[in-house]
Every structure is written in structure tokens, then in C-alpha cells.
Amino acid sequence: MQAFDRQTRNILSPIGKAAASALLLALSMSAQVLAEGGDIQLSAGGEIAGATIQVPGAPDRIRIPVGQITADGGRLPIFRPSDPLRLLHDLPQMEQGIQFGDVGEGRAIVWSRCDRPARMWVEYAFNEQFTDSKVIRGPHALEVSDFTARQDLVGLPSGKDVYVKVWFEDLTNARNKSEPVIGRFHTVGKHEDIRFVWGGDTAGQGWGINEAFGGMRIYEAMRQVKPQFFIQSGDSVYSDGPIEASKPAENGQIWTNLVTPEVSKVAETLDEFRGRYKYNLLDANLRRFNAEVPQIWQWDDHEVVNNWSDAKDLANDPRYTLKEIPVLIAHATRAFHEYAPLRPHTAEESERLYRKISYGPLLDVFVIDMRSYRGPNTANLQTQEGPETAFLGEAQLKWLKKELKKSRATWKVISADMPIGLNIGDGVDANGQPRWEAIANGDNGPAVGRELEIARLLRFIKHERIKNIVWLTADVHYAAAHFYDPSEAQFKDFSPFWEFVAGPLNAGSFGPNTTDGTFGPQVVFAKAPPAGQANLSPYAGLQFFGEVNINRKTHELTVDLKDLYGASVFSKTLKAEHGRDPD
């Protein structure tokens, strides 16, 4: 036992001489008991504490009641099998896994979270063996950010698989490190086809993580298509929707949920908003997806509260004790930026979400924000633009025009959190007039209200002869393909374009919505619940994501709308129109 004792002493050295000596004595005197998985009683004075150990050959971990051996500050550790004993010593935990975000132009955000104050470390290489890897000392993860942290990788070559390890180092003991979490992603190369997926609406209407159903299965279906990135089109959480342990579903079925305290009520405090993101990350499908598929995040309303704008009033909503919308927005914004794997904007506007991400000569993605700069939800019938008709806001609209005009990519995808031509209501105003949540206003007439701003954008695109623009969105909880045809529109000064709608990813199924004729949307395809049915659970299978493939040789862009099982329910191939060819 002498050699074994020397090795074990080396392993146990951090816990102090008294604790190590007592435990070694127990081990040396009880080898047979250990091998058989029996219990050891050890008394060293003080209150009874405990530890768990396992020795090679023992079938189970062994619980040892043991005196609180702290004469020199040591404490008994937890052991698990590893050559031959391993001291876990209350290691930092990474329960939320890792995420990658905003990958493009040689950069990538790596995100993770620890369970305590710690420093993030990131190692990356271009092979699974991590040969010639680079190790980066990342930022501190502190309570002020709910122990989240992110590191920007820079100078990445295009067309490469990037393998990543992330771990955290306890700030109270540098030798106390978490087990690393490993992931990988691919940087799009100049001479590669492009494939990505998009969708929105996760854990909404009380349909949460049902482990008996297989969890949030659509994330595994998306992972299986091996996309190079994913656009989260908004409603990434439902802060305004409590999740209960069980919920009646269609056809007499019962839907069961994992539940945490933070999701059992509407989110009001900062910790409750944070808890919504932590809840989603309990799902193994989502964590596995996150470790392989880089993401582009935007937001919509449910990250805060349903249909929020300056007109939102919670005075008569008994679920909320905190009625001040600006305070809820502040808490939700903080939590979103802590948990989204996005690259923070400059200090000039640190909470800005709209941005462009380039994927070489084939594709630019323009991520827009239809929530932060809007005016109040109204009847949306104003004949002149003003503060009430703002939707993107003047600064964002100016940026979008400039970047679209400057783009030399063949395809320009505008990632929007709401569709253009669908009527999406928000109750009625004080005069009993319908109030509208999105752009459309249900009047089928010339552009008025928020439509005026969109009309300016569409006119600009036409007059600047900007080609090959496709709009992708979610929000309405069903799948659809819309062709906007100026010959069928009331406002005609624009070039025709396509808009594709995906979702929900794990939420109630609704729709279809009616259309507004101002911009002439033609419903080429829609798949939604049967007439008279709404808020169907994921059991019904009406969960959808979108997949986009761009062919490097032909420049064709193909959109597939796919269901919960990865089967295509609609496909459309678009030919590039007079676009500048990739170099």
C-alpha cells in the first residue's frame, strides 16, 4: 500500500494534512471493504459530515460518514474513478454548456456560464486533437453578469472547422477548474456552398421542456442538417408565459414540463428574466445544438412582455406586481445581452442589435430590430410619418439603406422579427378601434401608418436597383411563403420579393393570419392548424424551421420549410438576378 499511499497523498495534498491522513488511514485499513463497495465508518471528532469516494474495482460510489476534519482548514473531497482516485473538490460547473455566435469575417463569439465567480478560458485549434492550439485567458464571470462570459476569437481563417474547449477557473483556487466543454463550428469559405437554418418562438404558451416527448426535439432536427449557422428570429424565451408542471393538450393528452421557480410566474425581476434563458438551456437538444451551430440572435416582444411598445399598459394584468414597462424592458434587455451569444456593439450604443454579418461573396445577412425603436401600437392609420409611425426608426433605416446599397454579396437576406404583410392585432384602443402590433393595418389601402416607413425602404431598394433580397422571419407560429407582387399591391413602387416564415420551434401553433393588400402579398404556401384550432402543442407536429441553401456554382438560393421531424413541407428555388458574381 506504500506506493498507493504516496500517489494518493499527492492527490489529497490540497485538503490539508489532518483530512488526508485520516482518509488514508481509512483506505489502507479497509481495502477489502472498498473493493466490495461497502461503507466505512470514520470518526475524527466534531459534527458528522460526508464524502463520496470510489476506488477502481468498486461497483458504486461509497458514502463515508466522516468527522468534520478541519483542524488545519482541510475538508473532505468528493472522489470519482480516475487513475486511481480523483479529487473533484467542488469543481466549478458549466451547466448551460457553450454557445457560438456572430461567426463571420474571421471572428466568432464564444459564450458560456459558470456557477460561481471564475475566469473563462478558451482553447481552440483546427483539428480534433487540438494540435498547435491557442489558449486564451478570457474574462471574469462575476455575479454582476450572472456569471456569464464571452470571448471574441479573431483572425480565424475561412473554410475551416474550428474545435473549441471552454473551462472556468475558480477565483478562490486557481487549481479548481471546471471540466472542459468541447464544441466545434465551421467558418464559411469563399468557395463553399452555404447552408443555414432559421426560426423563432421557443418555450411559449406554457409548452416547455417535455422530457417524455424527447425535449425540444426540433433543435436536434436542425442540427442533423449540419447548418453553418442559425438565425434566432426572436421570441427566444417567453418571459410573460408561466410554465406549469403539466398542461392539457389536444386529443385529451397531457403535456408535462420541467419546471423551475423562475418560469413558474411571469418574469419581473432581473433574476426571473435570466431564469428564462437558463430554463431553455436545461434541454439537452438545445445544448448539443449550441455546441455545434453558431447563432445570430435578434429579439421580438416575448423577451419582455407580449406586444410591448410605448402603448403597453399592465394596470389590469393581475399577474404583474411591477407595472412599469420601462423597468421590465431594462431587466429583459440586461438578461438578453447576458445570455445571447452576440458581439456587443460599441459604447456608442451598447444595446444595439441591428447589424450586418457577411459570409463572403455569396451572402450578407442584415439583422434588423423591429422592437426597440418603434412608436406605440395604435390604429396605424396615420397619413404622415411621425413618432407614432416609427417602426425601424430613422437611424436604423438609414443604416439599412446604406448597407444594402454597399453590399456586393449575391444574396442579401434581411432577417426580420416580424412579417411585413400579415395582420397581427393588439386588441383595441380606447375608442374601440383595432390596434396593430406589426406593420400591416388591415385596410388593404395605400401605405399609411408604419407602412409609410417600409414603403420608403422598398422604394429605395427598387430605385437603387439592389437585387436578390429575401426576407426571413418568424413570430406568427406557422410556416408560410409570401410573394410580394407590385402588380397586386396598392403601393406599387417596389421590386417584387419573397418573404419566408418559420416557427414555432417549441411553442403553441397558431394561424394562419389574414393579409393586408398594401404591398400585395400572395400566400404561395401556408401550413397552420386546421380552422377553429389554435395553440396546439408540439404533439401536433406543427413546429417548423427554415433551411436555406446557396449553391456556389449556380448562385441559386433554395428555401425549404421543414417540420419537427426534418421533412420538407415546402421548397422554393430562386435564381440570382443580375447580381455581381463572386470573385
Identify the pLDDT of residue 90: 84
CATH number, domain at 219? 3.60.21.70
Q: What is the pairing mode between strands 254-256 and 194-199?
A: unpaired
pLDDT at 24: 45
Query: Does 536 map to a domain?
Result: yes
**Residue keyed to cell 410573460:** 240
Output the pLDDT for position 67: 35
- From the number of C-beta atoms within 10 Å of its C-beta (0-12, 13-18, 19+), residue 515 rates as buried
What is residue 141's predicted lDDT score, i.e. its pLDDT?
98
Block mean pLDDT (10 aa), the chain, length 583: 36 43 44 35 34 40 36 36 44 97 96 98 98 98 98 97 98 93 96 97 98 98 98 98 98 97 98 98 98 98 95 95 97 98 93 97 98 97 97 98 97 98 94 95 97 98 98 98 98 98 98 97 98 97 98 98 98 84 41
Number of neighbours of residue 78 by Cβ within 10 angstroms: 16
Residue 93 domain-assigned? no
Which residue, among 474, 420, 239, 207, has the nearest Cα to 334 in the 3D structure? 239
Query: Do 169 and 288 share a domain, yes or no?
Result: no
Name the residue range of residue 490's domain: 194-574
- pLDDT score for 430: 86
Residue 123: closest CA among 184, 57, 187? 184
Cβ pair 112, 338 in contact under 8 A: no
- Which of 160, 186, 212 terminates a domain? The answer is 186
Residue 580, in any domain of the structure: no
Look at residue 55 in the predicted model and tell me its pLDDT: 37
Whether 62 and 207 map to the same domain: the answer is no
Q: Give yes or no: residues 245 and 387 share one domain.
A: yes
Residues 82 and 210 in one domain: no
Report pTM: 0.85
Which residues are registered as beta bridge partners of 177?
169
Q: What is the pLDDT of residue 71?
A: 34
Task: Tell me if 100 is assigned to some domain.
Answer: no
Q: How many domains does the chain have?
A: 3
Q: Based on C-alpha coordinates, what's the Rg of the chain?
A: 27
Q: Do 57 and 143 share a domain, yes or no?
A: no
Residue 582 lies in a domain: no
Do 342 and 199 lie in one domain? The reply is yes
Q: For residues 274 and 293, state if they share a domain.
A: yes
Out of 167, 186, 205, pick the residue that ends a domain: 186
